């Protein structure tokens, strides 16, 4: 429970002492629905809002220029909003464990607040800061606002283990207390008695750095398709709600060519950086649905984007190995191929399949792709065509995708590669047919792969089938100006489906020791137990390499199969 790790104290607990407070922004880059900041201000004499540029993150090669630009724009927007209420943002360079002891002393700090971080790395970092604060006599105020629910409560409700299917997760949240309402926005009226000491050289000391100052080459960098910041997020939210009510009447819109392009109503990067509160989004959706549907209760499907996010956060929160195969108890240990050359072709949009290459080009240029386009390129890299580990694809998305989120990114890649959560390995996305059904004319291809602009719609998804005269007329010879397909999709997908089939057969019935091992675990009171007894099984069956668990519920549609390869070696 969060309260056990981070004692939550009321602001009044410091009595008549002069309270100088720091609010530490990490995610949650907003003034609306920021309960930690709001509580921190109460009764305080001074406030400094800080953002720490951790050199470990700043120097990381796996964060691309579009993600950095989005973050810096978020910080600039936050600073502008704070200026309007007579405050400022203090951007500080350094490691948090080095920065805070100095700030506690220099600024005579008595209170530190921040938004709860549910991810394992964040919890470890925050525990270290909590210890430093305690040693310095600084109270720490932590509030949950990046997720809809307290994830520890969901896990507690599930018998101490995270739910491993989305259906199970939905059943659990139906038993949870309602989502808490967003708190009021921080305004001048709220903050006016809490001063921010600002020096004349504030911009030099604590200003938001530029991309150039961080070492990025910006010549030729195109205008941001997704401007960062809370201001933009709130405008997009209003447009999103208008579109949702008018266009779709709360039904899933049909895919078309325009669906593949960045939308002025898109919200995912803003939710990821916390420029937009998930709770505000949740209640805005609820209110609008009730107006349109005359006060009927909204279905859970209305909140699909938010709930899938919440599901992956829940499954990842206590699993520091969630982003890798090794040591990850929820991931099937599939023997993927290592092929750096093929990986590079995929990542750089040089596969020879225009649909795949256009998607990867859009991702690199703009930092966003439609969720079904993500499905297509993830399937192509992993179980569909190239048989390369989902870990490699996850790293590319982490670099390029604005909304890449540790929990959601890793969970999605495990899901799409059939490594966890989903075992329908016989379903593959065709790198020709899927795009053609979505955009028959090929306008999306022409936009992101102008070299193919001259091809007629008949050949634009498979230009290698075009006669020589058509290629010459299009001024693009396949194999010269645009690469030939790197694999035979029909053959590769057939082989890979068979590979996956064999892996799951081995998992379901292991005969390596001349015996069959099948373990059925039943859902009792809705509690999934297979990870709980995982360590016990390892002790009892030390000669077993693979186990298959079938978790059966009381109803047929509750039955799921979860395969787990344990990689246990004989003593």
Per the annotation, binding residues for FAD are: 305-312, 403-405
Instruction: Specify which residues 49 forms β-bridges with.
Output: 23, 89
Do the Cβ atoms of 512 and 545 come closer than 8 Å?
A: yes
Concatenated DSSP letters of 439-459:
-TT-HHHHHH-GGGTTS-TTT
Radius of gyration in angstroms for the set of CA atoms belonging to the chain, rounded to a whole number:
26
Q: Are 327 and 164 in contact (CB under 8 A)?
A: no
Please report, in angstroms and rounded to a whole number, the separation of the first and last CA atoms in the chain: 37
- Contacts with 203 (C-beta within 8 Å, 6 or more apart), sequence order: none
Q: Look at residue 180 and give its three-state secondary structure.
A: coil
* Contact assessment for residue 565 and residue 502, using Cβ atoms and an 8 Å cutoff: no
Report how far Cα 389 is from the mean position of its chain's Cα atoms. Answer: 18
**Residue the block writes with tokens 């007329």:** 473
Of 157, 186, 184, the closest CA to residue 169 belongs to 157
Distance from C-alpha of 494 to C-alpha of 370, rounded to nearest angstrom: 26
Q: Of 480, 486, 436, 479, which Cα lies nearest the Cα of 459?
A: 436
Closest CA to 356 of 238, 249, 486, 169: 486
Instruction: Please give the annotated binding residues, written as ranges.
Output: 305-312, 403-405
Neighbours of 44 (CB within 10 A): 23
Q: Report whether 288 contacts 331 (CB < 8 A).
A: no
Angle ∠(258,262,266) on CA atoms, nearest 5: 110
Question: 474: exposed, middle or buried (C-beta count within 10 Å: 0-12, 13-18, 19+)?
Answer: buried
Say which residue the tokens 């989305």 belong to: 166
DSSP per position, 318-336? T-TTTTSSTT-TTS----P
* Helix, strand, or coil (residue 418): coil
DSSP one-letter code for 281: H
For the chain, counts of helices (H) and of strands (E): 24, 8
Q: Which residues pair with 334 in a beta bridge?
A: none
> Is the separation of the CB atoms in 52 and 140 below 8 Å?
no
| 257's tokens | 């060519």
Q: 379: closest CA among 250, 253, 489, 543? A: 489
CA distance 563 to 550: 8
According to DSSP, residue 282 is labeled H
**For 420, which DSSP code?**
S
**What contacts 490, CB < 8 A, 6 or more positions away?**
none
Query: Distance from CA of residue 292 to its chain's centroid?
Result: 30
Sheet architecture: strand order including 519-522? 519-522, 546-552, 560-565
């Amino acid at each position: 429970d969060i309260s056990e790790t981070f004692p939550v104290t009321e602001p009044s607990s410091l009595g008549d002492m002069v309270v100088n407070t720091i609010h530490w922004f990490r995610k949650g880059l907003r003034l609306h629905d920021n309960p930690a900041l709001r509580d921190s201000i109460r009764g305080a004499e001074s406030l400094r809002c800080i953002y720490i540029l951790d050199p470990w993150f700043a120097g990381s090669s796996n964060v691309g220029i579009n993600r950095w630009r989005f973050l810096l724009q978020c910080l600039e927007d936050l600073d502008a909003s704070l200026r309007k209420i007579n405050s400022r943002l203090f951007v500080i360079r350094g490691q948090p464990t080095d920065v805070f002891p100095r700030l506690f002393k220099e600024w005579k700090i008595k209170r530190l607040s921040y938004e709860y971080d549910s991810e394992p790395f964040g919890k470890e970092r925050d525990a270290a800061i909590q210890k430093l604060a305690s040693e310095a006599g600084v109270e720490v105020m932590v509030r949950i606002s990046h997720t809809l629910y307290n994830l520890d409560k969901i896990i507690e409700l599930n018998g101490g283990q995270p739910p491993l299917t989305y259906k199970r997760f939905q059943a659990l949240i139906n038993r949870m207390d309602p989502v808490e309402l967003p708190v009021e926005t921080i305004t001048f009226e709220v903050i006016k008695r809490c001063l921010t000491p600002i020096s004349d050289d504030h911009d030099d000391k604590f200003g938001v750095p530029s991309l150039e100052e961080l070492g990025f080459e910006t010549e030729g960098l195109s205008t941001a398709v997704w401007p960062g910041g809370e201001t933009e997020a709130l405008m997009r939210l209003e447009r999103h709600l208008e579109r949702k009510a008018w266009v779709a009447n709360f039904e899933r819109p049909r895919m078309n060519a325009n669906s593949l392009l960045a939308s002025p109503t898109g919200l995912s990067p803003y939710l990821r950086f916390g420029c937009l509160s998930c709770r505000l989004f949740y209640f805005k959706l609820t209110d609008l649905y009730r107006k349109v549907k005359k006060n009927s209760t909204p279905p859970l499907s209305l909140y699909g984007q938010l709930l899938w996010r919440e599901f992956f956060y829940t499954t990842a929160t206590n699993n520091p190995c969630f982003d890798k195969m090794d040591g990850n108890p929820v991931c099937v240990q599939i023997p993927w191929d290592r092929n750096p050359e093929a990986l590079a072709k995929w990542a750089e949009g040089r596969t020879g399949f225009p649909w795949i290459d256009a998607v990867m080009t859009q991702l690199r240029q703009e930092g966003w792709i439609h969720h079904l386009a993500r499905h297509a390129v993830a399937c192509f890299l992993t179980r569909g065509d190239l048989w390369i580990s989902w870990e490699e694809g996850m790293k590319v998305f982490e670099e390029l995708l604005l909304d890449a989120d540790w929990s959601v990114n890793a969970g999605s890649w495990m899901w799409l590669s059939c490594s966890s959560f989903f075992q329908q390995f016989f379903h593959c996305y065709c790198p020709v047919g899927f795009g053609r059904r979505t955009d028959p004319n090929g306008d999306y291809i022409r936009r992101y792969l102008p070299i193919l602009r001259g091809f007629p719609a008949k050949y634009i998804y498979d230009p290698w089938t075009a006669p020589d005269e058509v290629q010459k007329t299009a001024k693009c010879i396949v194999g010269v100006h645009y690469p030939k397909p790197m694999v035979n999709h029909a053959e590769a997908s057939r082989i890979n489906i068979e590979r996956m089939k064999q892996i799951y057969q081995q998992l379901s019935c292991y005969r390596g020791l001349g015996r069959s091992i099948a373990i059925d675990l039943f859902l009792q009171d809705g509690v999934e137990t297979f990870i709980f007894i995982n360590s016990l099984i390892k002790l009892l069956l030390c000669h077993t390499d693979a186990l298959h668990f079938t978790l059966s519920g009381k109803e047929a549609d509750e039955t799921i199969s979860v395969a787990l390869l344990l990689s246990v070696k004989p003593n």
